[in-house]
């Protein structure tokens, strides 16, 4: 009977320890996910805008065409400026 009580205590301690560990792991995962999400949001907000060297139209940097002498809004303006 004494051993049963000790066994129950040991099991209870293990169960509590695992519950705590699971909670701290979940918290760690949440903390790791949060900075990634906020940095993604920041990257979207700070899209760089650049002006075409021919017509000065502004566009996001990822949509601009890069030529040998500058950046352009379209293939036509790149040809016009560089030919």
Query: Which spans of this chain sit near Zn ion (rule: CB under 5 A)?
Result: 52, 54-55, 73, 77
- C-beta closer to Zn ion: residue 18 or 80: 80
d(CA 60, CA 23): 43
- C-beta closer to Zn ion: residue 22 or 79: 79
- C-beta closer to Zn ion: residue 6 or 56: 56
- Residue 65 CA, chain-centre distance (Å), reads 26
H or E element, residue 13? helix 2-45
Q: How far is the CB of 48 from Zn ion (least distance, A)?
A: 17
């Amino acid at each position: 009977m004494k051993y049963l009580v000790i066994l129950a205590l040991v099991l209870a301690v293990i169960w509590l320890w695992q519950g705590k560990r699971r909670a701290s792991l979940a918290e760690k995962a949440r903390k790791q996910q949060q900075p990634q999400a906020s940095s993604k949001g920041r990257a979207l907000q700070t899209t760089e805008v650049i002006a075409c060297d021919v017509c000065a139209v502004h566009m996001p940097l990822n949509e601009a065409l890069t030529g040998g002498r500058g950046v352009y809004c379209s293939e036509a303006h790149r040809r016009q400026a560089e030919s």
